[in-house]
Amino acid sequence: MAKSNPPFMSGVPELLLLRLLQTREMYGYELVRSIREVTGEAISLGEGVIYPVLHSLERNGSLKSKRKPVGGRTRVYYALTRKGRDRLAKLQGDWHRIQTGIATALESPGHA
Amino acid sequence: MAKSNPPFMSGVPELLLLRLLQTREMYGYELVRSIREVTGEAISLGEGVIYPVLHSLERNGSLKSKRKPVGGRTRVYYALTRKGRDRLAKLQGDWHRIQTGIATALESPGHA
DNA sequence: TGAGGATACCTCGAACCAAAAGGTATAACA
DNA sequence: TGTTATACCTTTTGGTTCGAGGTATCCTCA
């Protein structure tokens, strides 16, 4: 029954979403393309990843959403809350830590 | 049935192991502590992660092992093969790509 | 001597996340 | 009218990592 910790490098999709929403409100479909773009095609997350993360972030209060009809379609725009900003700061710290750790490991001595 | 790709940032344990073994031969238990050390405590992988990865790397020819009795215990030392060096190069490239992608995303405009 | 901790190997089950594919519906374009 | 693009969503599958458990030897120290 022991609840295991999340895998040590998870939470990157969440991090990217929160970071993008820090700049401005965006909707799901837009975020999918945006992530591919801002990461220089290095990371491509499908809708099957984005939407569930968005929903869980909203459930836990990191995001708030509002629906906007545009043309005949409806867009759901997401914005950061206070809690979301805190969450973003935490994830950025986590990421920085492991990224630095890996860099250290890779650069260290002998490429003998 | 469609075979899904491995998660976009997996393979880091594998990368770290290969990198450490590039410098010198090491045995499993040693690698567990070494990873914690060289990453500045940022990453800590248990034996439940290390041993299976070691075994699968050996099966696919990236590592070769030899047993050495030391005191009354037996250590299994692992060394890189040619294929292991190629694999390491590939994983380093992959890692560099996504690491750069994320850095770009995080640094980009407005910390408004 | 015997209890406990460190060393050293290993495996199994559960948890968790992301991939892919599928499903609905409207708009635009050819 | 059919195909592509927009826009939302969920479910199934698959792979990786986590945690805990299991065996055995050695060393320390009461």
Predicted confidence (pLDDT) per residue in A15-35, tens digit: 999 999 999 999 999 999 999
User: Does the nearest atom of strand D lie within 7 Å of A69's Cβ?
Assistant: no
**Do A22 and B92 lie within an 8 Å CB cutoff?**
no
Q: Is A77 within 8 Å of A25 (Cβ atoms)?
A: yes
Write the residue in B102, B104, B109 that is nearest to A12 by C-beta. Answer: B102
Query: What local confidence, expressed as pLDDT, does residue A112 receive?
Result: 44
* Chain B residues in contact with A11 (beta carbon < 8 A): none
User: How many Å lie between the alpha carbon of A72 and the closest alpha carbon of chain B?
Assistant: 31
**Do A100 and B40 lie within an 8 Å CB cutoff?**
yes
* A33 nearest nucleotide via C1' and CA: D6
Query: What local confidence, expressed as pLDDT, does residue B112 receive?
Result: 45
Ranges of residues in chain B whose predicted pLDDT is under 70 = 1-3, 110-112
From CA A16, how far away is CA A54, in angstroms rounded?
11
* B49 nearest nucleotide via C1' and CA: D17
User: Count of A–B CB contacts within 8 Å?
Assistant: 95
Read off the pLDDT band of A9 (50, 70, 90).
confident
SS (H, E, C) B40-77: CCCCCCCHHHHHHHHHHHHHCCCEEEEEEEECCEEEEE
Question: What domains sit in chain B, N to C, each tagged with a CATH number?
Answer: 12-107 (1.10.10.10)
Three-state secondary-structure class, residue A96: helix
pLDDT of A68 higher than 90: yes
A18, A93, A90: which is closest to A50 by C-alpha? A18
Percent of chain A with pLDDT over 70: 96
* Chain B residues in contact with A93 (beta carbon < 8 A): none
Q: Which chain B residue lies closest to A11 (C-alpha atoms)?
A: B9
CA of B30 to C1' of D28 (A): 22
Bases in strand D with any atom closer than 7 Å to a protein CB: 6-22, 24-27
